[in-house]
């Protein structure tokens, strides 16, 4: 970020990515980069849109707006949002795992890893025809693929169970097998969706070891969604934090850990403070909403969208296309921003009347848009204004 | 049942006492159920008036049978089963070494099938063997081949296809039409019929690719009906429901013919006595060879990437896409391969019958083939062959059970009950073995040893 490295240093560049489900914005204007050979972590509270970002990158969703560029080691570049789903792993070499493990449970471990080498073997078997007649070229390719599978089974410490059905494995082993299966596709970028979810500390450590091994020995870059902060802080080189579909922080683990916006996003701020802050900004709508609950006209309503969670960030007016926040108190990071701006604007009395005008509706959003500028001054002033630094340590541990 | 009925009072009652009580309940229920079904019967008398026939004797026999049956079941069968279960649980589970028959099941089966016509001829003579080779041997093998073809679509790829008989029809009509109009030989038309059925498999595949589960089943069902209705209504070409007759017989690769009038009739060439059985025996070996071809291709394909992709598709389609497998072409190849074998079987069917009509390609055929696949255990060739033997052979053998007439009276025709028995057999097998005769799955590759994968891990696919 500081310098501007050549684009080939970045394996993945996500620019202005937006994903909307109907009027619901799951990801709004997200921009981040993942460096080659690094482990980039994507974190954020539940419902922040992390998995949606993954689904956009791996082609399960077509993004509404934005560009996702993948730069391969050999210099070729792929625009992932334009590739069909199955060509993203096949040609752009992006492999992924799933939050709820998706193994071929009725097939053995070895078969799972052989299926992952489908495209290579398909070519070797002459698109089935040569293989059907038992040509030796296929037999050789088949033996090689078994060797590769054995290699990854050994790495994942599963080689003893190679001939057991995948559904028979304990949970932690299934997670490792899914990573091994993804690695068998020979990926340049490996996307892991919560690989440490449900693992005990010992399994979690084994996972860290496997990921570090992949990073150091294969040249595969890793993009990782994770809630387990011990994993994130230990192994990631770069952390991107999402909240309500927007990036609220981006940097190395240390800087993210102490970012008050991140802490607020994870731990929240006290209700009284919210009201305090919002009254300071002069947003009467929000004060009203805090008393009466969400406005039905602007709320998510009976949306069938999978993203229609408890609080959604914003909806779009069908008639105007103007975006309006549903619950302005929802984004904790925006509250921190608002507080920062309010602290900053206090000395200047002119700011208050402006905020009270009809344009005030857009105020919190503007504050969010100002993020980069506000960020520089935000933390220091925020610390003065609120007794939050103590909470900062807690947030880091979570 | 026993568990639900037994309450605290039952805890003190002996099994015989409890059985007595339950037998009385069962008798009362059956009396209530059957009093109108069996006790009274409406009939017409000689002057076409509706009369009521009273059959109290029969009703008494049925109710008594139910009562005694329930008594014996609760008093003796249930305790005996519990005892044997307890004994089994007490003995540590030993993994039984599969017996000789189990281990060499496929080889023994293949040998028996090859020797079957010879044995029949030896036992019954040429004329007597006709029935056994044709009605049993060929009939069962046609269904074995159809079920193995459908197994690729359902058992491997997990796509529920209820219109499989459409491809059978395409193959049969392809041979019937091209054979009668252009006089082309069976040996040219067999691959042509297969290719045409595969083409229609792809045609069906394209629109249904996006559908899953129930929706896929309904669309394939509709496709099967469309093909049948086209065959009925496109009279200029298919001759409507009258069907096509005079379909040429298969020749022995053009060297020998099975038409008595031909100069190279087999009896004349080989200087043996004239008999219709030669043709049937030849057809038997032909369909057997086609079955072996199907089995060989299926076994080979499973070890190739495309076969593994089919099974992976059955297990988890989304994971397949995340691994770079083109699910569209994979599904299409499954449809096409399955349809191709259906087409082969269809052209054989046309050659064997010498006559085709839309009557032969009704939905019931699809349902029977599907039932065979499910009963046999999806994905297992051996299990499916056994299921076809039981289902088709079983219904055929009902025709032979003349002694039942002695029991139930001269106007009893066992064939009429075959669908009832078919249904009962399916219910029993599904209760006893929910995943079919052979539920386990043979892995296609192994590092150290090949171990069958238990049915509890494999999935049926979601369409």
| Per-residue pLDDT reduced to its tens digit, A331-343 | 766 776 776 666 6
Q: In what order do the strands lie in the sheet with A189-193?
A: A94-96, A189-193, A221-225, A39-43, A238-243, A246-251
For β-strands A238-243 and A39-43, DSSP reports them as: parallel
pLDDT exceeds cutoff 80 at A184: yes
Contact list in B for residue A185 (CB cut-off 8 A) is 323-324
Pure H helices in B35-74: 56-72
Q: Tell me the CB-side half-sphere exposure of residue A174, using CA atoms within 13 A.
A: 21
Mean pLDDT, residues A162-179 taken together: 88
CA A191 centroid distance within chain: 9
Mean pLDDT score across all residues of chain B: 84
| Per-residue pLDDT reduced to its tens digit, A335-365 | 767 766 666 655 544 444 444 444 444 444 4
Q: Do B304 and A131 touch (CB under 8 A)?
A: yes
CB A87 within 8 A of CB B323: no
Q: Do A132 and B321 touch (CB under 8 A)?
A: no
- Helix or strand holding residue A338 (H, E): helix A332-345
Q: How confident is the model at residue B1 (pLDDT cuts 50, 70, 90)?
A: very low
Which of residues A3 and B328 earns the better pLDDT score?
B328
User: Partners of A10 in the beta sheet?
Assistant: A35
| Per-residue pLDDT reduced to its tens digit, B106-146 | 888 888 888 888 888 888 877 777 888 888 889 999 999 99
What pLDDT sits at residue B287? 93
**Dihedral sign from CA coordinates of A120, A124, A126, A129:** negative
Complex prediction ipTM = 0.76
Q: Which residues contact B257 (CB under 8 A, 6 or more apart)?
A: B249, B251, B264, B265, B266
Cα–Cα distance, B434 to B429 (Å, whole number): 7
Separation in Å, CA of A318 to nearest CA in chain B: 30
- Scanning A175-194 for CB atoms below 8 A from B yields 181-182, 185
What pLDDT sits at residue A276? 59
Contact list in A for residue B304 (CB cut-off 8 A) is 121, 125, 128, 131-132, 138
CA distances from A89 to A50, A83, B214, B297 (A): 19, 10, 30, 29
Which tokens go with A125?
Answer: 């078997």
pLDDT exceeds cutoff 90 at B338: yes
> Does the domain at residues A1-93+186-257 carry the CATH identifier 3.40.190.10?
no
Q: How confident is the model at residue B206 (pLDDT cuts 50, 70, 90)?
A: confident
User: Of the candidates A60, A102, A121, which has its C-beta nearest B316's C-beta?
Assistant: A102
Q: Which residues contact A37 (CB under 8 A, 6 or more apart)?
A: A11, A215, A219, A221
CA distances from B423 to A63, B136, B375, B414, B429 (A): 51, 20, 11, 15, 10
What pLDDT sits at residue B366? 92
Best of B157, B304, B326 to mutate (most A CBs within 10 Å, chain A): B304
Q: How confident is the model at residue B92 (pLDDT cuts 50, 70, 90)?
A: low
What pLDDT sits at residue A249? 86
pLDDT exceeds cutoff 50 at A378: no
Phi, psi of B316 (to 5 degrees): -165, 110
Q: Which residues contact B296 (CB under 8 A, 6 or more apart)?
A: none
What pLDDT sits at residue B185? 86
Tell me the domain boundaries of chain A: 1-93+186-257, 106-179, 268-397
| CB of A102 less than 8 A from some CB of B | yes
Contact list in A for residue B451 (CB cut-off 8 A) is 108, 163-164
Task: Count Cβ atoms within 10 A of the Cβ of residue B31 and give its class: 0-12 exposed, 13-18 middle, 19 or more buried.
Answer: middle
Which tokens go with A381?
Answer: 């002033």
Q: How confident is the model at residue A389 (pLDDT cuts 50, 70, 90)?
A: very low
| Per-residue pLDDT reduced to its tens digit, B409-419 | 777 777 777 77
Mean pLDDT, residues B211-236 taken together: 89
CB B314 within 8 A of CB B213: no
User: Of the candidates B297, B318, B445, which has its C-beta nearest A114's C-beta?
Assistant: B445
Q: Which residue of A has its CA nearest to B328?
A: A86
- Scanning A124-163 for CB atoms below 8 A from B yields 125, 128, 131-132, 134, 138, 142, 146, 150, 153, 159, 162-163
pLDDT exceeds cutoff 60 at A393: no
A251-274 residues labelled b (16+ CB within 10 A) or e (exposed):
bebeebbbbbbbbbbbbebeeebb
| Per-residue pLDDT reduced to its tens digit, A272-329 | 665 555 555 555 554 455 554 444 444 444 444 444 434 334 343 344 444 444 455 5
| CB of A85 less than 8 A from some CB of B | yes
pLDDT exceeds cutoff 70 at B9: no
- Scanning A33-52 for CB atoms below 8 A from B yields none
What pLDDT sits at residue B91? 67
Contact list in B for residue A89 (CB cut-off 8 A) is 321-324
Which of residues A109 and B463 earns the better pLDDT score?
A109
What pLDDT sits at residue A277? 54
Q: Do B451 and A116 touch (CB under 8 A)?
A: no
| Per-residue pLDDT reduced to its tens digit, A201-251 | 888 888 888 888 888 888 889 999 988 887 888 888 889 988 888 888 888
CA distances from B133 to A316, B48, B138, B152 (A): 73, 46, 6, 27
What pLDDT sits at residue B231? 92
CA B208 centroid distance within chain: 25
CA distances from A278 to A74, A347, A388, B106 (A): 52, 17, 18, 78
Q: Do B305 and A165 touch (CB under 8 A)?
A: no
CA distances from A2 to A251, A369, B11 (A): 10, 20, 81
Q: How confident is the model at residue B191 (pLDDT cuts 50, 70, 90)?
A: very high
User: Of the candidates A103, A111, A150, which has its C-beta nearest B443's C-beta?
Assistant: A111
Q: By percentage, how much of chain A surpasses pLDDT 70?
A: 64
- Helix or strand holding residue B43 (H, E): strand B40-44
What pLDDT sits at residue A349? 47
Cα–Cα distance, A356 to A283 (Å, whole number): 7
Contact list in A for residue B293 (CB cut-off 8 A) is none
- Helix or strand holding residue A243 (H, E): strand A238-243
Mean pLDDT, residues B318-329 taken together: 89
Q: Which of the 8 DSSP states describes residue B137? A: I
| Per-residue pLDDT reduced to its tens digit, A244-276 | 888 888 888 888 888 888 888 877 666 566 555
Separation in Å, CA of A67 to nearest CA in chain B: 20
User: Of the candidates B308, B315, B326, which has its C-beta nearest A86's C-beta?
Assistant: B326
Cα angle, residue B132 at apex, residues B127 and B136 outer, rounded to 5°: 150
| Per-residue pLDDT reduced to its tens digit, B422-451 | 788 788 888 888 888 887 888 888 877 777
pLDDT exceeds cutoff 80 at B256: no
Q: Which residue of B has its CA nearest to A180?
A: B323
Q: Which residue of B has its CA nearest to A88?
A: B324
pLDDT exceeds cutoff 50 at A395: no
User: Of the candidates A59, A95, A125, which has its C-beta nearest B305's C-beta?
Assistant: A125
CA B431 centroid distance within chain: 18
Q: Which residue of B has its CA nearest to A131?
A: B304
What pLDDT sits at residue A279? 57
Cα–Cα distance, B190 to B343 (Å, whole number): 8
Q: Do A166 and B311 touch (CB under 8 A)?
A: no
Mean pLDDT score across all residues of chain A: 73
What pLDDT sits at residue A9? 81
CB B216 within 8 A of CB B313: no
Contact list in A for residue B337 (CB cut-off 8 A) is none
Q: How confident is the model at residue B89 (pLDDT cuts 50, 70, 90)?
A: confident
| Per-residue pLDDT reduced to its tens digit, A116-161 | 988 888 887 777 777 677 777 788 888 888 899 999 999 888 888 8
What pLDDT sits at residue B93? 54
Cα–Cα distance, A146 to A153 (Å, whole number): 10
User: Of the candidates A114, A128, A165, which has its C-beta nearest B306's C-beta?
Assistant: A128
A56-93 residues labelled b (16+ CB within 10 A) or e (exposed):
bbbbbbebbebebbbbbeeeeebebbebebbbbbbbbb
CA distances from B116 to B106, B111, B125, B137, B292 (A): 15, 8, 13, 8, 15
B297-326 residues labelled b (16+ CB within 10 A) or e (exposed):
bbeebbbbbbbbbbbbbbbbbebbbbbbbb
Tell me the domain boundaries of chain B: 2-90, 130-362
Numbered residues of chain B with Cβ closer than 8 Å to any chain A Cβ:
297, 300-301, 304-306, 308-309, 311-312, 314-316, 318-327, 333, 441, 443-451, 453-454, 456-459
What pLDDT sits at residue A92? 85
What pLDDT sits at residue A354? 42
Which tokens go with A295?
Answer: 């406005």
What pLDDT sits at residue B342? 94
- CB contacts < 8 A (A, B): 145
Q: Do B319 and A131 touch (CB under 8 A)?
A: no
B268-294 residues labelled b (16+ CB within 10 A) or e (exposed):
eeeeeeebebbbbbbbbbbbbebbeeb
Highest mean pLDDT among A163-172, A376-385, B224-233: B224-233
What pLDDT sits at residue A357? 44
- A64-68, A150-154, A301-305, B307-311: segment of lowest average pLDDT: A301-305
Q: How many CB atoms lie within 10 A of CB A361?
A: 15
Q: Do B325 and A107 touch (CB under 8 A)?
A: no
Q: Do B448 and A114 touch (CB under 8 A)?
A: no
| Per-residue pLDDT reduced to its tens digit, A9-31 | 888 888 898 888 888 888 888 88
């Amino acid at each position: 970020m500081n310098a501007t490295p050549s684009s080939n240093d970045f394996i993945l560049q996500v620019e202005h990515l937006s994903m909307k489900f109907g009027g619901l914005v799951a990801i709004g204007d997200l921009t981040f980069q993942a460096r080659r050979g690094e482990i980039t972590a994507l974190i954020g509270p539940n419902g922040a849109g992390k998995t949606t970002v993954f689904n956009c990158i791996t082609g399960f969703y077509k993004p509404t707006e934005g560009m996702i560029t993948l730069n391969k080691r050999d210099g070729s570049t792929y625009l992932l949002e334009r590739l069909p789903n199955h060509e993203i792993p096949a040609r752009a070499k992006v492999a992924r795992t799933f939050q709820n493990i998706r193994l071929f449970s009725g097939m053995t471990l070895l078969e799972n890893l052989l299926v992952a080498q489908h495209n290579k073997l398909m070519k070797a078997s002459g698109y089935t025809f040569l293989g059907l007649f038992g040509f030796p070229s296929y037999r050789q390719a088949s033996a090689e693929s078994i060797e590769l599978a054995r290699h990854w089974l050994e790495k994942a410490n599963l080689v003893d169970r190679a001939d057991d059905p995948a559904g028979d494995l304990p949970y932690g082993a299934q997670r490792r097998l899914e990573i091994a299966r993804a690695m068998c596709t020979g990926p340049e970028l490996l996307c892991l969706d919560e690989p440490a979810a449900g693992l005990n500390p010992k399994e979690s450590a084994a996972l860290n070891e496997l990921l570090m091994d992949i990073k150091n020995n294969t040249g595969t870059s890793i993009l990782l969604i994770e809630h387990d902060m011990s994993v994130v802080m230990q192994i990631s080189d770069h952390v991107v934090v999402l909240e309500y579909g927007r990036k609220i922080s981006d940097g190395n683990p240390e800087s993210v850990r102490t970012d008050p916006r991140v802490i607020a996003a994870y731990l929240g701020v006290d209700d009284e403070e919210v009201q305090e802050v919002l009254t300071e900004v002069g947003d009467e709508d929000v004060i009203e909403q805090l008393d009466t609950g969400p406005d039905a006209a602007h709320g998510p309503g009976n949306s069938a969208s999978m993203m229609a969670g408890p609080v959604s960030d914003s909806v779009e007016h069908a008639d105007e296309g103007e975006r309006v926040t549903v619950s302005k108190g929802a984004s904790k990071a925006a509250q921190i921003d608002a507080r920062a701006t309010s602290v900053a604007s206090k000395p200047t009395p002119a700011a208050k009347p402006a905020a009270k005008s009809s344009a005030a509706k857009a105020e919190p959003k503007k504050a969010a848009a100002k993020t980069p500028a506000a960020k520089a001054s935000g933390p220091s002033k925020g610390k003065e204004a609120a007794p939050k630094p103590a909470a900062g340590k807690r947030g880091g541990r979570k | 049942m026993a568990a639900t009925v037994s309450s605290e009072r039952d805890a003190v009652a002996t099994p015989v006492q409890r059985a007595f009580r339950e037998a009385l309940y069962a008798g009362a229920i059956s009396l209530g159920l059957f009093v109108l079904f069996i006790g009274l019967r409406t009939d017409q008398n000689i002057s076409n008036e509706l009369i009521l026939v009273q059959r109290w004797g029969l009703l008494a026999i049925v109710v008594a049978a139910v009562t005694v049956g329930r008594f014996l079941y609760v008093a003796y069968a249930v305790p005996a089963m519990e005892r044997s279960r307890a004994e089994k649980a007490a003995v540590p589970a030993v993994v039984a070494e599969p017996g000789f028959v189990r281990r060499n099941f496929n080889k023994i089966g293949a040998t028996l099938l090859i020797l079957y016509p010879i044995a029949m001829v030896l036992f019954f003579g040429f004329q007597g063997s006709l029935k056994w080779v044709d009605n049993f041997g060929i009939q069962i093998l046609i269904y074995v081949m159809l079920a193995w073809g459908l197994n690729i679509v359902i058992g491997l790829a997990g796509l529920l296809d209820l219109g499989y008989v459409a491809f059978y029809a395409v193959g049969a009509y392809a041979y019937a039409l091209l054979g009668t109009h252009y006089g082309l030989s069976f040996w040219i038309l067999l691959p042509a019929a297969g290719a045409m059925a595969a083409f229609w498999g792809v045609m069906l595949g394209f629109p249904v690719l996006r559908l899953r589960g129930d929706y896929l089943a309904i669309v394939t069902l509709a496709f099967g009906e469309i093909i049948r209705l086209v065959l009925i209504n496109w009279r200029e070409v298919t001759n409507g429901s009258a069907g096509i007759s005079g379909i040429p017989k298969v020749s022995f690769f053009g060297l020998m013919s099975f038409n008595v009038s031909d100069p190279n009739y087999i009896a004349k060439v080989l200087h043996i006595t004239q008999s219709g059985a030669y043709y049937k025996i030849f057809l038997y070996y032909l369909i057997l060879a086609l079955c072996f071809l199907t089995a060989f291709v299926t076994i080979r394909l499973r070890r190739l990437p495309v076969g593994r992709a089919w099974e992976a598709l059955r297990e988890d389609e989304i994971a397949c896409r995340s691994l770079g497998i083109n699910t569209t072409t994979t599904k299409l190849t499954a449809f096409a391969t399955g349809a191709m074998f259906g087409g082969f079987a269809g052209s054989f069917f046309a050659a064997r019958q010498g006559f085709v009509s839309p009557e032969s390609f009704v939905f019931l055929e699809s349902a029977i083939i599907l039932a065979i696949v499910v009963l046999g255990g999806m994905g297992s060739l051996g299990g499916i062959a056994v299921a076809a033997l039981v289902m088709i052979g079983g219904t055929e053998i009902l025709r032979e059970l003349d002694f039942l007439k002695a029991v139930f009276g001269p106007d009893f025709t066992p064939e009429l009950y075959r669908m009832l028995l078919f249904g009962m057999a399916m219910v029993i097998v599904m209760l006893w073995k929910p995943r079919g005769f052979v539920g386990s799955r043979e892995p296609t590759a192994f590092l150290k040893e090949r171990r069958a994968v238990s049915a509890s891990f494999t999935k049926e696919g979601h369409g």
